Amino acid sequence: MKRFITFAFVLFAFSAVVSAPATRPEVLRVVLDEAIQPSTQEYVSRAIDFAQHNHNEAVLLELYTPGGLESSMREIISKILASPVPVIVYVAPTGSRAASAGFYILESADVAAMAPGTNTGAGHPVILGAKMDDVMKEKLENDAAAFMRSYVSKRGRNVELAESGIRQSKSFTEQEALTQNLIEYVAPNEDDLFKQLDGKTIKRFDGSQITLHLSSPAVKTYEMTLKERILNYLLDPNIAAMLLTVGVFAIYLEFNTPGAVVPGVVGFIAILLAVFALSILPTSFAALGLILGAFVLFVLEAKLQSHGVLTAGGIGLLILGLL
């Protein structure tokens, strides 16, 4: 009787193990649909660290960006190349682009994919608000091209074509990128992309190989923190310009109505936030000079009776500075 009970218990335990559902692979989705800047760089870095800690099968970086800051782009790429978790960069949805800095990030991925109706490329470096001479242009171009070659060759992609996206600012549709070996997959959605990738063996940046298991994965979206959202909002050039404009006019109002206090406080805070954003963003010093000149004229208008002449001049300088 004891033998029968023992046998029944073992049989029950075995059947429970066999019938237990297999653990679904987990994929961490990171949605990067903004300009590349410090807040997005911090967001991607945290996501990759989280995926490593959580032992995710892969990180899916959905990319839709016009470009951004080179320093932030390089930090993101360094994080992708060193990531112990495979990183899939997917330009999506349809109508999206991975231009400029986004092109570099796409090519750094373990797996590069695009949705139909998307494009990438136009990676020639520029300095916003400044005209480069031929020497500076050549230096930046050569540096960017060497950076691109340093990892595209190890990814087994078309080095010459990738470099032409920098030196000649070429852009590519998803089909052009696929047929000319800039990317590996074209997929209309992430489910189709996972089906194509399931069971595929990929070569990592360090030369190791890994087989992806992406059959019906559990996909979790990694969200930005409140701090990153606020920074992302403030570092929008349009928002920075608006804050600066509001700040200048609020200070002007405070000079015209001494003791009002509120316009002065609002203006002071707005200008501080604008200066913070402009200290990070590429900024033209000539434009800042024009805006400062506008501020001086507004202050003089509050002290001198010019019948609107100084105000008109200040508005003109402010408009020119914000262009």
Q: Which DSSP symbol is given to 36? A: B
As for how many domains the chain has, the answer is 2
Phi and psi at 27, nearest 5°, equal -120, 135
Domain end among 227, 250, 278: 227
Looking at the structure, tell me whether residues 121 and 67 fall in a common domain: yes
| Least confident interval from 10-19, 65-74, 112-121, 261-270 | 10-19
Catalytic sites, residue numbers:
100, 139
Cα(82)–Cα(55) distance, rounded to whole angstroms? Answer: 15
Residue 106 lies in a domain: yes
Domain with 102, as residue range(s), is 23-227
Looking at the structure, tell me whether residues 78 and 117 fall in a common domain: yes
Residue 2 lies in a domain: no
Look up the pTM and report it: 0.78
Looking at the structure, tell me whether residues 206 and 108 fall in a common domain: yes
Render pLDDT for 233-272 as a digit per residue (tens, 0 to 9). Answer: 777 777 777 787 788 778 777 777 777 778 778 887 887 8
With a cut of 50, say whether residue 156 has pLDDT above it: yes
Q: What is the DSSP string of 55-79?
A: T-SEEEEEE-B--B-HHHHHHHHHH
